[in-house]
Every structure is written in C-alpha cells, then in structure tokens.
Amino acid sequence: MRLVFEFAAIAALAIGAAGTAHADFIRCPLDQARRTITDPLPSGWWTTPLVSRLSETKVRDIGGKPALLCIYGSSGSVQRQAPAGQTCQAVGGGFNCTRAGGGANTIATGGLNIPQTYLFDLDRGAVTQTGADFWFQAETASLLYLVPRNGARIGVGNRANRGAAGCAAARMTTDRVSLSDLPVGSYVCARTNEGRISQFRVNGVSPGSPKTLSIGFTTWQ
C-alpha cells in the first residue's frame, strides 16, 4: 500500500523580520494536509482521503541538528532545519526564532484557543478569569471585540510582525478593538497588566456561533 501526502493551500515559508529585537517568525507552510492511498484499486473500490488541519508545532533534534516540525494530526508532518545561528521556540502556527546575542528574554510563548466571552492572560499564557489581560467580548453574534482589562493595553498598528522592540515602541490604547479589524494573519502588540511587552498573531476564528479565537503569542520580559 502506498500512501502519499497531498498538501492543500501550499504557501512559501514566511519569515517576518522583527526589527532590532532580532526575532523572526517562521510560519508553517500549510493550513491543512491530505493523506490518501494511490495504489490502483479493483473496480467498485474507492478510498476516502484523510484531511487534517495543523494541530501542533515542535522543535526536535533530527540528525544532531534542531528541526522545526509542523504536525497535521493523522496526516503526518513536514519539517525543515532551524535557521543557522538562531534559537527557535514552537508557537501557534509556526516558530519564533531569535538570533544569538540579541533580543529580549521570552517568558511565555505558545498558542491559545479562547471561547467567546472568556478572558485570557498573556503573562502566563492561559484562558483564565483571574488577572486577565483581555476579554473576548461578544456584544452580538457578529459584533466581537478584544477588550483590554486590568490596565493592559493593545496596539494594532499595521498588523505586521514587529517583535519585542517594535511592540515596545508601538502606540497602544485601552480601547476595545473590533475582531473585524483583525483578519487571520494579523499581528497585534500588547502591554500586559504586569507591564510586559507581548505580541500575538490571529491564527483563526471558528465558524458558526459561539466562536473560538485561536492565537499564537510571545511575551517578553
């Protein structure tokens, strides 16, 4: 039996420079992957391809070198070597890679899935009701907002990957931001309620109602 991966929505690896903090974001190349059987089948038989979305990212030693793995559930994974001279951390949707000798210290990084009406904290990377930085407000089924809480601030800017230094210099506000102004792929700067600089990427919003917001974030000391 011969299995092949048929990759959907193929895109080039996106490496976004993050300014003087020397941080790069490497995005996983696919939103989803399809695995299927390609062997000839007798008449009357067919196969149903298995389609899986990106489920996890990992940094793993392969052949004595760090490799970046994008895992697509039961469909398998794709990988590449980490950029030379950079240390990479797995986050939602890809990897944050920092050049040796530069950048701020990362204190929290990862991915969060936030149901509407819930709150989340970027200092610890958690969906929580205690000490949260933002509220995923649902005013109606279609009017959705991110609302800073407990002194946190938000800076949308040009929605580009600005990294620690860029976000430290960004203009921020305590005003709520409409989710309609943050399409998938947007990077948003924040200052947490504990005074730390953070940045998150909008990775997706679930269909239907109620909705779940998926982000990948990094918070620096």
* 86 and 141 housed in the same domain: no
pLDDT of residue 9: 33
* 178 and 132 housed in the same domain: yes
What is the DSSP code string of 71-124? E-GGG-EEEEEPPTTEEEEEETTEEEEEETT-SPPEEEEEEEEEETT-EEETTT
Domain-ending residue, one of 33, 66, 99: 99
The reply to whether omega before 210 is within 30° of 0 (cis) is yes
SS (H, E, C) 54-78: CCEEEEEEECCEEEEEEECHHHCEE
* 88 and 186 housed in the same domain: no
Torsion of CA 51, 52, 54, 59, to 10 degrees: -110
Domain-ending residue, one of 59, 80, 99: 99
* 95 and 123 housed in the same domain: no
Rounded distance between C-alpha atoms, residue 196 and residue 88, angstroms: 21
* 33 and 115 housed in the same domain: no
* 7 and 71 housed in the same domain: yes
* 210 and 133 housed in the same domain: yes
**Site of tokens 């929605």:** 159
Q: Domain containing 29: what range?
A: 3-99
Would you give per-residue pLDDT tens digits along the chain (221 residues)?
444 444 333 222 222 333 344 457 788 999 999 999 999 999 999 999 999 999 999 988 888 788 999 999 999 999 999 887 777 878 878 887 876 555 678 889 999 999 999 999 999 999 998 889 999 999 999 999 999 999 999 999 999 999 888 898 899 999 999 999 999 999 999 999 999 999 999 999 999 999 999 999 999 97
Which tens digits make up the pLDDT trace of 141-179? Answer: 999 999 999 999 999 999 999 988 889 889 999 999 999
Contacts of residue 43, defined as CB under 8 A and 6 or more positions apart, other chains included, come to: none
* 118 and 33 housed in the same domain: no
Number of domains in the chain: 2
Domain-ending residue, one of 70, 99, 128: 99
* 82 and 177 housed in the same domain: no
* 87 and 135 housed in the same domain: no
* 123 and 188 housed in the same domain: yes
Rounded distance between C-alpha atoms, residue 87 and residue 215, angstroms: 21
**pTM tops 0.75:** no
* 74 and 114 housed in the same domain: no
